[in-house]
Structure 1
């Protein structure tokens, strides 16, 4: 009898709390919540699509209850501007789940830090020191090296007699670029040799990433129902061991770079070197340095590969666009050399292809929640202090009131109108906006554009035999980032002389 009594008591408490909030504040409309669980059982797995469907019924700003926590979702550019510009400071805090709190040392990093002196300091380090045009240019050889390594790998697999006529798993090659690029930028280490063999540090790194994902996913339901957390205990020992393991690897790499600087008398441009040399200037704790390095890994490991995979899928579904992009590459680059990043300015259509793909398929379609640090009004509704506000950037970028034929993959729209995608135009927000805009936006844009340019210049892309372009599965997997539900299979056909498929390794 004890358990039913507990459930009834919790349901009564939730009902009182919900009615109190409802009559005290003018909350946005939304589906009716159930006691204790709120709307959790009504939410479909692909949340950003579910919320977009609810917005069609309740309007562009809706209330959704995750257990006893109010979450407000906005789905148009006008409301996104209110959240990310007009009321940015009041909504600049961050909701941290128990796992996020553990991973970030309770907000000692950038992604999960509340807005305040610490956030302002580490944000300054990122914008003024780490992601400057000068540093991005110094690290350009790494990006170009990894992209050409991807091309060589695809070509070698294509000419392998065992693969003749077979399709390739596109994600495999894009994931390798993303992995090697981010570990070299952050840690100055390529954990995989030219034969594709991963060293011991690389194996440990991948194991740490996989274990972190497992730990984070283990608390999904309990995070939203604080009253029931006694049933879903935090695995303190498991999180502690994970943190120690992560720190041990990171400190070993930091020590390697410290010794290398002492020997050479100077620092390289990798982020670990930069942070260590800036530690005293900005009074950065070791926890903050480790947190920032893993923020970069978390934010950059999958998002670029995801963006490029969606773009290739769209190009296979739209052969006209693929051909037009290749004609531009042939005209500007020709068939005697490979593309480099300094060519971007001469390739406007390629840039539009990347932008159009990021519009239709933002890698983080539901922006990380902005927590209200005070009561605020959005769209004429009350947002109580402590509520979470999400911008559904996927829905904003498909709004038919601001985009003509929004579901059509048509890069030409960005030739007709120059639309910023780094936080200044609220119709297109793949990297967010305001105080919490992604500081590495330009780095991500450069890598995605480079990957697409090389993939299109070196190869033509077609669906596997027997699959029509319109049959490619364009559904998404549930989760924070938008993996394709069915990983893309494609048949590449080389377009250039064979000698242009060789990688020349860059030692940086």
Structure 2
């Protein structure tokens, strides 16, 4: 049983009687209130623990396996927590579109509660909240609008060129590069410049690894299975340390954010002229909101820290991990690698530079990115939703206050949806109109509906630009002793999905680097 440690089992036994009372009372109440209503099918439940014993270290795998027996709308009892797992495009459409309003609430895990992040976060606040609408408006208008995306194009090009320059130096030394770290530094600097107008990453500095460890810590602790999520009376114990880890990592980022905030306030107070509009960043926007008299007058430094936590962690983590997964799959499939490089070379020509405008002329590259999102969605279970009232999904009753998980990882590997679902075949996306923007429910790595990831417009620029630039400027080989067929693709589960062992690859320069 992967989730429950020996220590947890010992303390768990002390609470058996209390939990049994909660379990039996809740079950009898629901039976009497629903009568003959049909609940989704699910595996038999053990007393007290329900189905916890069926969930391994990679819940998205466990749920996918169980759904083969119990269907695309499956009911699980995880301790005291009623859960429904969705594993088909049709059921996902019901959750993300048809009943989006009813199912747009969040189920808060205990790591998030450790800093009361649910009270401030665009990720966890309810969409009916005025604060959520303000945060959504700020992020869409000042970071991810078409106008803002276009205005920051030169920044992305500059940071990707710095990545290529670093790879060129490694190529000259014939050194294998940690692709996870290098891609993280690039996305870190893109995001940190959008937010604070500074580079926080350096390819030769350990500080970049520190930020990567902190971000990974936030994501891992927020997504890890936790007994406290299944048994509320165990919250104060924090048996698995997820709350402590989430709080510690978050506070380190808060300290950095507060430093940028204080420095900017000091800088602004000493200015004798107005700041050039073109040089203003997102922090300036937040300071204006904090110091203004309008809708954001109550938007204080605590709100700012939590808002930046969402933007910073999601923006750096998901983009870099997707690039790493894509390059890993290409190295495992050399014929696909050759095919996409041939396409890029034909479009860009010799001694050129990949521009964002070139991506639309690279259909096979776009297919590679989509295929990566299919096999390796950044958030394999999206984020947990909660039913605000009783609701029916494909004819099954989902009771009020049930946790609803959409297993996009399983949908991406469903043989009834995809031919050869476990194979990396970008060709499947050529000539068909399927994208990742929340309209095609067989491919929703960013979610859909009102909860769709606001950073999607940036991600679909950054990921293909980074990948195309790496493939255009270099040939790639694995370190000595590693063969493509044996490349480790093991996953580590959290809110986001990472390679357990980072990809190391040797860039082989094939053209002049501008």
Question: Same fold by TM (over 0.5)?
Answer: yes
Distance in 2 separating the partners of 1:142 and 1:133: 15
Distance in 1 separating the partners of 2:485 and 2:295: 53
Question: Are 1:297 and 2:308 matched, yes or no?
Answer: no
Distance in 1 separating the partners of 2:81 and 2:333: 42
Q: Structure 1 residues 442 and 226, CA, compared in 2 at 3 Å: closer, same or farther?
A: same
Distance in 2 separating the partners of 1:488 and 1:236: 29
Which sits farther off after the overlay, 241-250 or 178-187?
Answer: 241-250
Distance in 2 separating the partners of 1:236 and 1:478: 17
What is the Cα deviation at residue 13 of structure 1? 3.3
Which sits farther off after the overlay, 436-445 or 469-478?
Answer: 469-478
For residues 120-171 of structure 1, what are the alpha-carbon distances to aligned partners after superposition, in whole Å with 9 as ceiling and x for unaligned? 23222222333111111222222222222222222212222xxx4x533222
The residue correspondences of 1:427-466 to structure 2 (distance < 5 A) are 427-466=442-481
Distance in 2 separating the partners of 1:463 and 1:4: 49
Question: Are 1:255 and 2:262 matched, yes or no?
Answer: yes
Distance in 1 separating the partners of 2:341 and 2:244: 54
Residue 52 of structure 1, aligned match among 64, 67, 74: 64
Is the contact made by 1:309 and 1:488 (CA closer than 8 Å) also made in structure 2? yes
Question: Are 1:406 and 2:418 matched, yes or no?
Answer: no
Distance in 2 separating the partners of 1:30 and 1:19: 18
Which sits farther off after the overlay, 292-301 or 217-226?
Answer: 217-226
What is the Cα deviation at residue 21 of structure 1? 3.1
Distance in 1 separating the partners of 2:318 and 2:86: 23
Gaps of 5+ in 1: 501-508
Q: Structure 1 residues 6 and 194, CA, compared in 2 at 3 Å: closer, same or farther?
A: closer
Is the contact made by 2:22 and 2:80 (CA closer than 8 Å) also made in structure 1? no
Q: Structure 1 residues 159 and 118, CA, compared in 2 at 3 Å: closer, same or farther?
A: same
Q: Structure 1 residues 178 and 3, CA, compared in 2 at 3 Å: closer, same or farther?
A: closer
Question: Are 1:360 and 2:337 matched, yes or no?
Answer: no
SS of the aligned residue for 1:470 comes to: helix
Residue 123 of structure 1, aligned match among 120, 136, 150: 136
Q: Structure 1 residues 217 and 408, CA, compared in 2 at 3 Å: closer, same or farther?
A: closer
Is the contact made by 1:108 and 1:291 (CA closer than 8 Å) also made in structure 2? yes
SS of the aligned residue for 2:77 comes to: strand
Partner of 2:287: 276
CA RMSD in angstroms comes to 2.9
Is the contact made by 2:181 and 2:209 (CA closer than 8 Å) also made in structure 1? no
State the number of aligned residues: 491
Q: Structure 1 residues 337 and 376, CA, compared in 2 at 3 Å: closer, same or farther?
A: same
Which sits farther off after the overlay, 479-488 or 21-30?
Answer: 21-30
Q: Structure 1 residues 398 and 205, CA, compared in 2 at 3 Å: closer, same or farther?
A: closer
Question: Are 1:180 and 2:189 matched, yes or no?
Answer: yes
Which sits farther off after the overlay, 83-92 or 284-293?
Answer: 284-293
Is the contact made by 1:37 and 1:225 (CA closer than 8 Å) also made in structure 2? no
Distance in 2 separating the partners of 1:490 and 1:43: 34
Partner of 1:285: 299
For residues 187-211 of structure 1, what are the alpha-carbon distances to aligned partners after superposition, in whole Å with 9 as ceiling and x for unaligned? 222134586474xxx8996786577
Is the contact made by 2:155 and 2:190 (CA closer than 8 Å) also made in structure 1? yes
The residue correspondences of 1:33-44 to structure 2 (distance < 5 A) are 33-44=45-56
For residues 376-407 of structure 1, what are the alpha-carbon distances to aligned partners after superposition, in whole Å with 9 as ceiling and x for unaligned? 11111111111111111111122222323322
Is the contact made by 2:127 and 2:133 (CA closer than 8 Å) also made in structure 1? yes
What is the TM-score when the length of structure 1 is the normalising length?
0.88
Is the contact made by 1:12 and 1:35 (CA closer than 8 Å) also made in structure 2? no
Is the contact made by 2:375 and 2:413 (CA closer than 8 Å) also made in structure 1? yes
Is the contact made by 2:438 and 2:448 (CA closer than 8 Å) also made in structure 1? yes
Is the contact made by 1:349 and 1:412 (CA closer than 8 Å) also made in structure 2? yes
For residues 365-386 of structure 1, what are the alpha-carbon distances to aligned partners after superposition, in whole Å with 9 as ceiling and x for unaligned? 1110111111111111111111
Residue 306 of structure 1, aligned match among 305, 318, 321: 321
Q: Structure 1 residues 436 and 238, CA, compared in 2 at 3 Å: closer, same or farther?
A: closer
Which sits farther off after the overlay, 113-122 or 382-391?
Answer: 113-122
What is the Cα deviation at residue 310 of structure 1? 0.9
Distance in 2 separating the partners of 1:82 and 1:331: 43
Distance in 2 separating the partners of 1:483 and 1:207: 12
Partner of 1:224: 230
Is the contact made by 1:104 and 1:112 (CA closer than 8 Å) also made in structure 2? no
Is the contact made by 2:117 and 2:124 (CA closer than 8 Å) also made in structure 1? no
Q: Structure 1 residues 363 and 249, CA, compared in 2 at 3 Å: closer, same or farther?
A: same
Distance in 2 separating the partners of 1:385 and 1:269: 45
Which sits farther off after the overlay, 231-240 or 28-37?
Answer: 231-240
